[in-house]
Structure 1
Amino acid sequence: MKHYPVIQLHQVSKVYRNGTVALKDLNLVVPEAQFVSLVGASGCGKSTVLRLIAGLGSVSSGTIDWGIDAAQRKLAFVFQDAALMPWATVKDNVQLPLKLGGMSSQYSQGLVAQALKVVGLEKFAHNYPRELSGGMKMRVSIARALVTQPNILLMDEPFGALDEITRSKLNSDLVDLWLQHRWTVVFVTHNIYEAVYLSNRVLVMGTSPGRIVADIDIDVPFPRGEDFRTSSVYNEYCRTVSEHLAAAMRFSDMVGF
């Protein structure tokens, strides 16, 4: 079943005040309910793309168009760091965006409880961040994003600082959540294996300036379990992404970046 485009970037360029060209003529279309990952070397502009989509910066040229109007568009952003308030409980951290939005505490309690249940932390609502593991802190960060009931989820390397076992578990949990809610997701990562496991599409970015050099469909049905992670199909997709990434890096070296 085909879905309408939700996010469309047309010939988007981003030049910073110091003259750095972060992105050049980048085109990207993300359909409704698709999970898209951006992979690339540090400095290729992955996070810049995410921030521009989120409205946390302005394009230097080009356009960002939306397939849904502003009233229906609900974006949530999960950053690299959980960025929790250490003096506040898990519940209060998750409630923060609702509080900032002016929602009454009486109404928000149910939404907070639901978000914590979704990420499996309902029993930790009254704990403080110092009492949580790294993986649990990131779950709180995800709950804080989900409490606003988004339909578009932007994630900037949310699992990059975690050990591989925790990361693998959260990858599986994220796929399960996406299958339940069918958000439109743009996910930034350095990890090829993570990108292939999670995504409908993996976009490989080249550097200096940032641009998309490969768009790879991961044509494997969901749900995906451990059998997929150990399959030859998975390994072949990872190899394909890796080859495109290596080619992009060789090109940057050839032109002197």
Structure 2
Amino acid sequence: MKTLICLMALLVVCSLPAHGANPFRAAELSDMELSKLRGRYVMPDRIIHFGVTMSSVWENGAGQTVGAAVTFNVNGRAEPSLHVTDLSSQLSGTEGTVSPGTGTLVGGAGLTDVRGISQSVRSAGDFNNGLNNLEIVVSRGGEADVPAGGSTPWAGSTGFANEVGRVLIDRQGGGLKVMLDAGTQGSAMQQIGTGKVVQQASFTGDLNSVRNLVTLSVGLKELPLGQDFANCTLEQLRALRPVGF
């Protein structure tokens, strides 16, 4: 009996094609195959909310700030909401003076044309601090991100200004853009959409700080007990390679 089993196993192995001799060997996927994987790991009815929060805040050498945030949410019923928030400080007039910036930045125009994610900090002054940060948060259950206090619904191009500078939130080229102008001290910019995320900080003065922050959040529905979507995912992946895994 053992001899018969060994012979059957040998016949099965010999009948396998060369590329299937080791069914557990890793197979490299082409770019075309990888492009078809987008969205296949999350069932559509499991997404209960999706959101983007983008904020830019500039602080000068006297501790004065100008900035804004925009929060975009889409719930499980595909209902969008868009809010903007003024993050500028209220100036009292007692803050210290800020020396005008005299630095000059050259080049860098091509940074906005980069596809994907582009982050840059350039400085033509001294003692400046710039941060570009992109965070992706995937959670189970919960609620969508709540806009900061004092936020207002989007009503088209929106701007805020004070003695530090001005910030403008606008839709340009199909995406959402936050542009911050701090006068002679420099500028900052963030843009998301049209297949790219751009974060930039440019300093032409001294003792400035800027924070460009983006958070992408996805909320997934909690799985009922005993319900398993693993087999669904495997079947979708199996269809990408007709020869099987």
Give TM-score scaled by structure 1 length.
Answer: 0.19
- TM-score normalised to the size of structure 2? 0.19
Asked which structure has the greater CA Rg, the reply is 2
Q: Which has the higher strand share?
A: 2
**Counting helix residues as a fraction of each chain, which structure ranks higher?**
1
